[in-house]
Structure 1
């Protein structure tokens, strides 16, 4: 293989870049990182809910991918493989960290009539933060990043049915929480 120019790296597929990295190309993984860092950052930020944890998880994940590139079997897309590594790095970080203070409580009377788009976004982020890690990870991938259920199952290492049920339970919990924030009365007894 002759010298690789930046143009040929930009034209290479993700699989080709990973193969070139394993073969010793010093620039191939940098191109892979450039292509996917923004999407991986978005997944990490929504999964971790904390910019510092997300940054650490993205760094951990890409270092892991860099080191483990030779173990990539090609039975899934490179992006699926990267998602799996980043989400696992997020979950590892979340397991190691304990919150130092509880989530702030909303005063519904103060916020009911003053929702701007920023406050609504913060409400969704807060509701998402209350979900169990597995439900949050499934919703982030499927609903926020439009990852197909089958691919999300591969990324998280669970069955497709598990992804579907986590998404359904997570959506129901989000709807209930957001309905309460909007001032809608709770309907029926809570069973969870």
Structure 2
């Protein structure tokens, strides 16, 4: 009979107690999802890889700060998101003005083939980069990673109402830019497919 899997919380406890393998197991369990969050938040594979590495180093060092109020995965996601936001702040990413969003929405957009999901995904990623970091992080967690508003609020350490507000403002800014995708239902299909892929992976 197979032994029950050790819980994330038990692995973290073992790590704090000096088990040299426990944290590596946590990393193996969660690195793919952490990578997906970082990549969608930053939109750059190299930056995302660095952010995930920074986050896991921080989690390794700060394991004793985990108090158990939330799941270990929520705690890890919070560290990853903060690492991403720190990188965005260090790069001094300037929020895009509303008139620039309008200009982006009015640009001629090539007609996409129904099967060109990669191109659609790239368009969505590019559009996300136009948003302020707080709205981008909320939309990535809720709309792209499938988090509930309540879970996203725990990760971001803000009230649920703030997450809803950030998502609403972000969607309103993205709507004119991505309207050609919405009209063809491509955006919904890609988001759903990506979400299912991440949940199943």
What TM-score range do you get, normalising by the shorter chain? 0.7 to 0.9
Query: CA shift at 1:68, angstroms?
Result: 0.5
1:95 aligns with 2:89: yes
For structure 1, the 5+ residue unaligned runs are 1-6, 100-104, 184-192
Task: Give deviations 1:60-112, integer Å, cap 9, x for gaps.
Answer: 1000000100110000000000000000001111111257xxxxx79944x43
Instruction: Find 1:21's aligned residue among 10, 15, 18.
Output: 15
Normalising by the residue count of structure 2, what TM-score does the alignment of the two structures yield?
0.77
Aligned residues: 172
Answer yes or no: is the 8 Å Cα contact 1:57–1:86 preserved in 2.
yes
Instruction: Find 1:61's aligned residue among 11, 36, 55.
Output: 55
**Cα distance in structure 2, aligned partners of 1:182 and 1:83:** 29
> 1:137-176 residue pairs with structure 2 within 5 A?
137-176=137-176
Aligned to 2:111: 113
**Cα distance in structure 2, aligned partners of 1:61 and 1:14:** 17
Aligned to 2:135: 135
**Cα distance in structure 1, aligned partners of 2:135 and 2:54:** 22
**Cα distance in structure 2, aligned partners of 1:89 and 1:113:** 36
For structure 2, the 5+ residue unaligned runs are 94-103, 184-201
Normalising by the residue count of structure 1, what TM-score does the alignment of the two structures yield?
0.81
**Cα distance in structure 2, aligned partners of 1:124 and 1:92:** 22
**Cα distance in structure 2, aligned partners of 1:118 and 1:37:** 22
Query: CA shift at 1:117, angstroms?
Result: 2.4
